[in-house]
Amino acid sequence: MSDTRKNSSSVVDGTAKAPARAMLRAVGFNDADFQKPQVGIASTWSMVTPCNMHINKLAEFACEGADEAGGKGVIFNTITISDGISNGTIGMKYSLVSREVIADSIEAVVGCQGFDGLVAIGGCDKNMPGCLIGMARLNRPAVFVYGGTIQPGANHTDIVSVFEAVGKHARGDMTSVELKQIEQTAIPGAGSCGGMYTANTMASAIEALGMSLPNSSAQEAVSPSKAEDCRRAGAAVISLLEKDIKPTDIMTRQAFENAITTLIALGGSTNAVLHLLGMAHAVDVELTLDDFARIGRQVPVLADLRPSGKYMMSELIAIGGIQPLMKSLLQRGLLHGDCLTVTGKTLAENLADVAPYPADQNIIHSFEKPIKKDSHLVILKGNLAPDGAVAKITGKEGLRFTGKARVFHSEEEAQQDILNGTVVKDDVIVIRYEGPKGGPGMREMLSPTSAVIGKGLGNDVALITDGRFSGGSHGFVVGHITPEAFDGGPIALVENGDEITIDAETAEIRLHLSDTEIQQRRMAWQPVPPRYTRGLLAKYAKTVSSASEGAVTDKDL
């Protein structure tokens, strides 16, 4: 038995395994295949979203790569859902939950079938960290492939353009005809949402982590380079098997610090905080909100990318992707160059021959003239979030906001009052009971934040929640407030008209009440019953940890 077959051999070797071999012959195995290392190819293909509609073909390319390198590729599927479609509905409760379902399903299939290695191809927000969590739990040689970004829509539009157009229409600044034109042209085909939203953020972070091949994050979904990326990934798993390099060898604490540094420089999504915490938990790496704060004090925001910036991922791809940025971060001493990657080489070795960006590009700013001198991901604490909260503050919104609370018990309530004009300047919109347990599922607040921008209130109101935000959200927004309202956190005690201050410079979020008043309200607070008592959402609410711990479902097992 070869060491590269130590898992599959238990399934197919020997006389007693004739029934297993008989089953496998029906799906295309021959005698020679039983002596090859088996590589599972996890495809997140689905026609429920353009992010993943092309991934079955990519899975075939990855399978070809594994076969050509001397392995036997076997394609299997896992689920995906669409944040872009479900945002603003109760269906969004299943979004973060799907991350755990995907991780569980990959673990189940690979563990059951005895695959020796794994390629996982993800193309939407939750299936990407879901793939990584599954890889980490299995700890077999593995490579992640990003399905790739979408091309821009007409007039430089994307899905967030459509969400914000809804707000403009409500304000009276856009006709119904103009809204429909954006709706019809913003999504031209396959690929993940086009800005530095959660999908492109996670693809970049995973590449910086070392778990995908160089440039995997910076290729359009429908492109020859993405097809070749998949072929190379299939072959890379065979090489990793021969070298016995596993996810735990790559996903070290230093590698996670590289991922955090890169996502900050790119101006990435707040969701990356949640997902990196969850991924670190899966490999028993200690990572906390304090690590994001510590690294954030040293790393500037350099990329002028949507949602708060100007450019799209396709334009970053055209000038070289994230590799030149990573090289410059390494040269400044901000990355750990000795971290191992799925190439079998170190990060520094991968970056050695990377050319700098063209001199005339405007997407990636210099260290001397950053967009923001420190992180846009601000970890806030205070009497409103004792266990922490995550703010996305680029500085364009200002660094401090004080206003009066306008409290809502659901996203739908808030969305209605933003669009009808009830929410006004100097309000702090408080959306609670949307946390991991209380929602359950920690919905993204893309519809309310986009409505705020569309209504022209982006600089005039703040929004805080125990839920979370889409990577497409921007404005003065604070999410992941912990403890959440369902657990009796201070956000559950806020009343209309209470004064709240959010200060990015002091990293504080404060409810302007005395400790005595807060304690009196706490004594009067009554827990709310679970919204679901059967099925997936009920199970999730029972097992999920807090947002500050990554919202994982196996923390206390």
Catalytic residue among 470, 545, 546, 548: 470
470 has catalytic annotation: yes
Annotate 481-539 with DSSP letters as a single string.
EES-GGGT-GGGG--TT-EEEEETTTTEEEE-S-HHHHHHHHHH--PPPPS--SHHHHH
| Calpha distance 22→547 (Å, rounded) | 46
CA 464 to chain centre: 20
DSSP for 301-361, please give it.
B-B-BTTTSSB-HHHHHHTTTTHHHHHHHHHTT-S-TT-B-TTSSBHHHHHTTPPPPPTT-
What DSSP letter does each residue of 64-127 carry, written as one string? HHHHHTT-EEEEEE-----HHHHTTSGGGHHHHHHHHHHHHHHHHHHHHHT-SEEEEEE-STTH
Instruction: Give the SS3 label for residue 143.
Output: strand
Helix (H, G, I), strand (E, B) or coil at 38: strand
Whether 135 and 120 have beta carbons less than 8 Å apart is answered as yes
Q: How far apart are CA 522 and CA 493, in angstroms?
A: 7
Q: Which residues contact 251 (CB under 8 A, 6 or more apart)?
A: 132, 136, 209, 210, 211, 279, 280, 283, 285
Catalytic machinery residues: 470
